[in-house]
Amino acid sequence: MALSPETRDKLKKVSTATLATALYKRGLRGQFIQDVQPLHKPTESMVGEAFTLRYMPAREDLNQLVVFRDRGHPQRKAVEECPPGAVMVIDSRKDARAASAGGILVGRLKARGVAGVVSDGGFRDAAEIATLGIPAYHQRPSAPTNLTLHQAIEINGPIGCGDAPVFPGDVVVGDADGVIIVPAHLADEIAAEATEMTAYEDFVTEEVSKGRSILGLYPATDERSLTDFAAWRKANGR
Amino acid sequence: MALSPETRDKLKKVSTATLATALYKRGLRGQFIQDVQPLHKPTESMVGEAFTLRYMPAREDLNQLVVFRDRGHPQRKAVEECPPGAVMVIDSRKDARAASAGGILVGRLKARGVAGVVSDGGFRDAAEIATLGIPAYHQRPSAPTNLTLHQAIEINGPIGCGDAPVFPGDVVVGDADGVIIVPAHLADEIAAEATEMTAYEDFVTEEVSKGRSILGLYPATDERSLTDFAAWRKANGR
Amino acid sequence: MALSPETRDKLKKVSTATLATALYKRGLRGQFIQDVQPLHKPTESMVGEAFTLRYMPAREDLNQLVVFRDRGHPQRKAVEECPPGAVMVIDSRKDARAASAGGILVGRLKARGVAGVVSDGGFRDAAEIATLGIPAYHQRPSAPTNLTLHQAIEINGPIGCGDAPVFPGDVVVGDADGVIIVPAHLADEIAAEATEMTAYEDFVTEEVSKGRSILGLYPATDERSLTDFAAWRKANGR
Amino acid sequence: MALSPETRDKLKKVSTATLATALYKRGLRGQFIQDVQPLHKPTESMVGEAFTLRYMPAREDLNQLVVFRDRGHPQRKAVEECPPGAVMVIDSRKDARAASAGGILVGRLKARGVAGVVSDGGFRDAAEIATLGIPAYHQRPSAPTNLTLHQAIEINGPIGCGDAPVFPGDVVVGDADGVIIVPAHLADEIAAEATEMTAYEDFVTEEVSKGRSILGLYPATDERSLTDFAAWRKANGR
Amino acid sequence: MALSPETRDKLKKVSTATLATALYKRGLRGQFIQDVQPLHKPTESMVGEAFTLRYMPAREDLNQLVVFRDRGHPQRKAVEECPPGAVMVIDSRKDARAASAGGILVGRLKARGVAGVVSDGGFRDAAEIATLGIPAYHQRPSAPTNLTLHQAIEINGPIGCGDAPVFPGDVVVGDADGVIIVPAHLADEIAAEATEMTAYEDFVTEEVSKGRSILGLYPATDERSLTDFAAWRKANGR
Amino acid sequence: MALSPETRDKLKKVSTATLATALYKRGLRGQFIQDVQPLHKPTESMVGEAFTLRYMPAREDLNQLVVFRDRGHPQRKAVEECPPGAVMVIDSRKDARAASAGGILVGRLKARGVAGVVSDGGFRDAAEIATLGIPAYHQRPSAPTNLTLHQAIEINGPIGCGDAPVFPGDVVVGDADGVIIVPAHLADEIAAEATEMTAYEDFVTEEVSKGRSILGLYPATDERSLTDFAAWRKANGR
């Protein structure tokens, strides 16, 4: 179930907060990746299908620097295979004491057209990554090489990231609040619903800034709120 | 015991660090709200009387989205009732896994003339809140709707926030370091004392930047420090 | 074993990430100070020999404000004795609930020509420190006076800071990722090796930004990578 | 809605694990009090209606030892007012660094016929409490007087305890696994359902100990499992 | 590389502490599973090859109770497939807020001849499991059904458990201190070496209890220590 | 200021809870060592003067197993030098991921007449230590050799242990609740006062078990409480 260009576009214009509420309505409460932040202030939302990478704790004898000479090493392989437009999501077991990746690998993802990268651990070269122009989210910067604590063990299987379940192909959306996972089969309907919700929220935000009370307006329990909204939509072409 | 305009003005010009020391002298060591940060860099200190909101853990059957249709829902009620000039302080049990509030509610607080908002959890729409111009402090951004984990249960009772005790009417002061709670009955004397301390600290900072040693100067154990300070006050109209 | 000007210069031009890898090759996996961040974005790396200060938990009767009237108080003494060019590293037991130091003391360090200051706790007056122009790293801002929780007990002995071992004279390097400790006896060879590594990484970064795959390039398992690098060095005077 | 003797009896014979599953079926996932343990090995389950006590962080000037001379102090008042047969549940904000209560107060609860006591902090005199014969649950022992960190502020209001929501009158059940909160209005039906589930689980346990596979048996997807169970019930009078 | 009966026997007679030191000599510092404890006091060491089960965070729509009606559900399948003599090791992401398994499943493992079970989360029915006679290790008891937080996703792949790397076939050893993972290819030599070390430690323990100093004895830097040990071995048939 | 036999005897008969309250009256709120537990149930209180050992984070090149061949290694030296009747208190930086010590060293302490041993990390060979008959307190068992994370760096200097300040010569008291540090200069008066408090608490405990209310009795705000206590003391020879 590929992510359609229409849904991708819609998701770029809605917030993770709105998506969280739309998922909540469907009983999904744990899709927000806890405790990650963008390395640079986002200008638009990151959107893409999840391509996952799983790390397990590193065993010292299996994680000498020489392992990276193997072209088949899962970390390097994943970087070369992550599809353009996808978001690489890394399960670092919420451990930021060593890096999940660094500037060169994230630069390669950027060059390959990948839509973003997320780790529940930390990236090294964080300042450099922040200038690359590819959305990147992590817990905090971390200089030690990932071999110190992490061994890449599986590409594109189901993982946990920041306590959220992530299946390959799920739709990943990130903004200034953080990153949320929309299950693949719900992406279209959630995108549509969130677009509608966003229109109403934009209307409410405008009204509130003019001094209107939230009672009856948010949510729209007053009839007038809906009438006003209808007029606002017409006036604003939404 | 209302916060007088004079005390409010004084508190806007002193730091939470200086206030913490003044409170420490009176045996109060735990008034700093731990682990909250401003959503945008403060230009002047946030000052206001505490108006509190307490959250308890959400029970699923009591926290469906429909609850917000009730105009008496404590979260919405609190937002409409928090007095202009006050600071809303939210006890989120230090749990930032779901939002304490979002852009629309904080926007409404701003519109109503509220002086600031503090949660020991997290706000959603954090980037939007950062642009509203109302001081806001939290632990970290959090997109999930507050119903996921939080049920608003009490308005303006005594609470804990970030391990600090907060009674309604206590004076809340926030700057770049974070937020501190000045007990209501001490506000005037603490404001006066902190103002004096700040004058001396400003003098010391200036001297230190010129190369003077802190020994004898900070604290003022050398007679000369006091003489110089007297001259500095005169010269600077402090 | 004093830090030579040559080594200091080299270390200013390499990242903590590269240093972490060079240390990793020698079996040193724990030299990165965990969970500290710069108070202001670094423009160049902080480099200096470690001058340490150890805090123990404060006992109330020994930590009244009056203790600072003693010119021999270890915290104040350390600030006056830390050599120009050194980095003061404070063992705050990873406890940021009270300040490790504030703007005046850090200002004095700056005035005395100290190269930087690091605490695994928190600084007060964080916004002010950020403008001083001396590199400073901590966990998070913290307004309460350090007497609340910390008693300075030892100057320039071996300590832990953010889970890293720090011996006086070790070389401390900080950048946007954080701070790493290079053992004194390894400083020259690590600086030289990291300089070489950085040249190759810069070359790789450039190639990657042009679209080249990392396979065979990073690490250089393809002969061509080394040939190209040689040409690049010549062309770039590296 | 008082807890009937029948329901109390049923709840004494089912496990918190079974109750957790029955609640899970109704969408209630957060009713287990996290990270508390019994001070002594339970012989039968603790059951009673919740009578709550809320602590806020202690402010030093309000929490000198002399406060306990006030007969109206909420902690002491709560101990004298908690109804026989009820369970006192204390919201200690998951902070075990000071005691929630000690041997004398828990002894008084025992003498008054209270059914048990739960804190998400810690008790002092833990070894003594363990011999009293009243079920008691906490995080870990803690000797410091509760005034060090806790101020009793509210009796029998809604609270959080170990991340679970607790309303006065909810039914509290504790066994060796810990403590779970059954919402008052569900107590009868949950007790009935859990009793039925327990019968089947006991049957399964017996079968499994004899070597039968869990497939088809647990859950009962094989017709034979139900037939065998019916026979077992008859044979065992369940 | 199957675990030989000889090696199994040897490992039953050595402690996890001794094994940790033998692994440390080979550069393996992270093989101890952090923060798990036995549900009942061990009488002899648990030994077996690792058979693993991995949990990811549960997504609500995929984890209704009905999933257990599927005979192919990985948790149930794993319980039926774990080989006799093996130890089931469960990666619960160190999250004990919901159960990893309960009494019936662990009872089935016992009935099937499995050598033990380890989770870095928590078991429900902990008191019952403690009586089954199969070694079981976890973080703490936890009543909520595992569907609340955990979805079994992979059987017998490489995992992390309590920050230790675990590959299927690694040898798992548990005693009162906890659980350690011996890489499969090292099992024979580590078992042999640890057996020798244990003989010396037993000799030292005896000497120390008689009042002998550890200097020169532990480690054996005095020639006499080795001579005495030789005599002790002869006398004690070790 | 040596610990007198009289004070030692008194301290053996009072609880850490009572001592905590006596210290609290003098403004000392942080003397309880947080989060340590006895390895075996205490029969009488552990009492002795603190003899301290400080660990810093281990640097790999300085912590190979061979270091223990040095008779001057601080850990081994401390074990041989800790005076009979003293309590060894180890600052393990609250890190239990590797052992603070094991059965042989603690056995040697026992043989040398040391009164007890406390670490805010963990001991290996925990089950063996529990049988030695010397009081031992830690956070949790931990099998990895202490070289993995800890380097012994200082003997008998001031340290922190479980967030409590410990100076050599302070009096260490441990019971089932945990361990508390009585500053040396207060030991006599605290012991005397706690003895008196204990008499009253024992009286109250007896009265409470007979059904008497705590109001007026605890604390003794009713005149009758004091009269009854006087009679009880006479009757019980206290």
At E141 the three-state DSSP class reads coil
Tell me B99's DSSP state: E
pLDDT band with cut points at 50, 70 and 90 for residue A1? low
Kindly list the partner chains of chain F, i.e. chains with 3 or more CB atom pairs below 8 Å: C, D, E
Dump strand ranges (E) for chain F: 32-33, 37-38, 46-57, 87-91, 99-101, 116-119, 122-123, 136-138, 150-155, 159-161, 164-166, 171-175, 178-182
Tell me E146's DSSP state: G
Q: Is A58 on the interface with E (CB under 8 A)?
A: yes
Q: Is the peptide bond before B165 cis (omega within 30 degrees of 0)?
A: no
Q: Over pLDDT 90: what percentage of chain C?
A: 96
Contact at CB, E141 and D29, closer than 8 angstroms: no
Q: Which amino acid, one-letter code, is at E224?
A: R
Q: Is B71 on the interface with C (CB under 8 A)?
A: no
The interface predicted TM-score of the complex, written ipTM, equals 0.96
Contact B31, B180 (CB under 8 A): yes
Kindly list the partner chains of chain E, i.e. chains with 3 or more CB atom pairs below 8 Å: A, D, F
Task: Transcribe chain D into DSSP letters.
Answer: -PPPHHHHHHHHTS-HHHHHHHHHHTT----EETT-EESS--SS-EEEEEEEEEEEEPPGGG--GGGGG-TT-HHHHHHHHSPTT-EEEEE-TT--SSEEE-HHHHHHHHHTT--EEEESSEESSHHHHHHHSS-EEESS---S-GGGTEEEEEESS-EEETTEEE-TTPEEEEETTEEEEE-GGGHHHHHHHHHHHHHHHHHHHHHHHTT--STTTSS--SHHHHHHHHHHHHHHT-
How does pLDDT run across D143-198, given as a tens digit for each residue? 999 999 999 999 999 999 999 999 999 999 999 999 999 999 999 999 999 999 99
Looking at chain C, which residue has its C-alpha nearest residue F182?
C59
The token pair at E162 is: 């309590």
Query: From residue F113, how far is each of A218, C197, F42, F109 by CA, in Å?
Result: 72, 56, 17, 6
Q: What is the residue-averaged pLDDT of chain D?
A: 97
3-state helix, strand, coil in chain E (%, to 5): 40, 25, 40
How does pLDDT run across C225-238, given as a tens digit for each residue? 999 999 999 999 99
Average pLDDT over residues B143-160: 97
CB atoms within 10 A of CB B152: 24
Contact at CB, E57 and A157, closer than 8 angstroms: no
Contact F45, F173 (CB under 8 A): yes
- Return the pLDDT at C179: 98
Say which residue the tokens 């009370």 belong to: A213
Chain E (81-140) residues lying within 8 Å, Cβ to Cβ, of chain F: none
Average pLDDT over residues F142-147: 97
Q: Which of D60, D92, D185 should one mutate to test binding to chain B, selecting the residue with the greatest count of B CBs within 10 A?
A: D60
Contact A55, A92 (CB under 8 A): yes
* H or E element that contains B87: strand B87-91
Q: Give D20 to chain E, closest Cα distance, Å.
A: 5
- Return the pLDDT at B143: 98
Contact at CB, E165 and A151, closer than 8 angstroms: yes
pLDDT band with cut points at 50, 70 and 90 for residue C1? low
pLDDT band with cut points at 50, 70 and 90 for residue F1? low
Average pLDDT over residues B171-180: 98
Q: Is B219 on the interface with C (CB under 8 A)?
A: yes
Give the HSE-up count for residue F73: Cα atoms under 13 Å, Cβ half-sphere: 23
- Return the pLDDT at D55: 98
Q: Pick from D41, D204, D210: which is nearest to E104 by CB?
A: D204
- Return the pLDDT at E23: 98
Contact C56, C198 (CB under 8 A): no
Rg (CA), chain E: 20
Contact at CB, F104 and E205, closer than 8 angstroms: yes
Query: Which residues in chain F touch residue E32, judged by CB atoms under 8 angstroms apart?
Result: 97, 142-144
Q: Give B53 to chain A, closest Cα distance, Å.
A: 17
Query: Which residues in chain E touch residue F143, judged by CB atoms under 8 angstroms apart?
Result: 15-17, 19-20, 32, 177-178, 180
A vs E, Cβ pairs < 8 A, gives 65
pLDDT band with cut points at 50, 70 and 90 for residue F2? confident
- Return the pLDDT at E210: 97
pLDDT band with cut points at 50, 70 and 90 for residue D77? very high
- Name beta bridge partners: E90: E53, E119
Contact D178, D36 (CB under 8 A): yes
Contact B37, C140 (CB under 8 A): yes
At A178 the three-state DSSP class reads strand
Contact at CB, B57 and D183, closer than 8 angstroms: no
Q: Are strands F122-123 and F150-155 parallel, antiparallel or unpaired?
A: unpaired
Tell me F110's DSSP state: H
Contact A156, A51 (CB under 8 A): yes
- Name beta bridge partners: F99: F122
pLDDT above 60: residue F159: yes
Q: How far apart are CA B232 and CA B229, in angstroms?
A: 5
Contact at CB, A57 and E158, closer than 8 angstroms: no
Average pLDDT over residues B70-99: 96
Residue from A140, A138, A59, A128 nearest A91 by CA: A138
Average pLDDT over residues B48-56: 98
Q: How far apart are CA B4 and CA B18, in angstroms?
A: 20
Query: Which residues in chain E touch residue A30, judged by CB atoms under 8 angstroms apart?
Result: 57-60
pLDDT above 90: residue A7: yes
Burial category of D230 from C-beta neighbours within 10 Å (exposed 0-12, middle 13-18, buried 19 and up): exposed
pLDDT band with cut points at 50, 70 and 90 for residue F100? very high
Spell out the long-range contacts of C230-236 with Cβ–Cβ below 8 A and sequence spacing 24 or more.
Answer: C232/C203, C232/C206, C233/C199, C233/C203
- Return the pLDDT at D2: 85
Three-class SS of chain C: CCCCHHHHHHHHCCCHHHHHHHHHHCCCCCCEECCCEECCCCCCCEEEEEEEEEEEECCHHHCCHHHHHCCCCHHHHHHHHCCCCCEEEEECCCCCCCEEECHHHHHHHHHCCCCEEEECCEECCHHHHHHHCCCEEECCCCCCCHHHCEEEEEECCCEEECCEEECCCCEEEEECCEEEEECHHHHHHHHHHHHHHHHHHHHHHHHHHCCCCCCCCCCCCCHHHHHHHHHHHHHHCC
C vs F, Cβ pairs < 8 A, gives 63
Q: Is F160 on the interface with C (CB under 8 A)?
A: yes
Contact at CB, E97 and D215, closer than 8 angstroms: no
Q: Give B37 to chain D, closest Cα distance, Å.
A: 20
Tell me B138's DSSP state: E
D vs F, Cβ pairs < 8 A, gives 87
Q: How far apart are CA F162 and CA C230, in angstroms?
A: 55
Evaluate whether chains F and A are touching (3 or more beta carbon pairs less than 8 Å apart).
Answer: no
Dump strand ranges (E) for chain E: 32-33, 37-38, 46-57, 87-91, 99-101, 116-119, 122-123, 136-138, 150-155, 159-161, 164-166, 171-175, 178-182
Residue from B25, B6, B52, B9 nearest B173 by CA: B9
Phi and psi at C164, nearest 5°, equal -100, 145
Q: Give C180 to chain B, closest Cα distance, Å.
A: 25
How does pLDDT run across D20-59, given as a tens digit for each residue? 999 999 999 999 999 999 999 998 899 999 999 999 999 9
Say which residue the tokens 């309505």 belong to: A25
- Helix spans in B36-97 (H): 74-81
Average pLDDT over residues C10-15: 98
Q: Is the peptide bond before B183 cis (omega within 30 degrees of 0)?
A: no
CB atoms within 10 A of CB E113: 12
Q: How far apart are CA B197 and CA E141, in angstroms?
A: 53
- Return the pLDDT at D1: 57
The token pair at A182 is: 């929309």
Distance of CA D211 to the CA centre of its chain: 34
Task: Point out the residues of chain E with pLDDT beneath 70.
Answer: 1
How does pLDDT run across C169-210, given as a tens digit for each residue? 999 999 999 999 999 999 999 999 999 999 999 999 999 999
pLDDT band with cut points at 50, 70 and 90 for residue B2? confident
Q: Is A56 on the interface with E (CB under 8 A)?
A: yes
Query: From residue D63, how far is each of D58, D151, F23 by CA, in Å?
Result: 6, 7, 15
End-to-end CA distance of chain C: give it in Å, rounded: 28
**Predicted model pTM:** 0.98
Query: Which residues in chain E touch residue A35, judged by CB atoms under 8 angstroms apart?
Result: none
Give the HSE-up count for residue B178: Cα atoms under 13 Å, Cβ half-sphere: 30
Residue from C27, E218, E208 nearest F68 by CA: E218
Q: Which amino acid, one-letter code, is at D48?
A: G
Whether the CA torsion D130, D132, D135, D141 is positive or negative: it is negative
pLDDT above 60: residue A213: yes
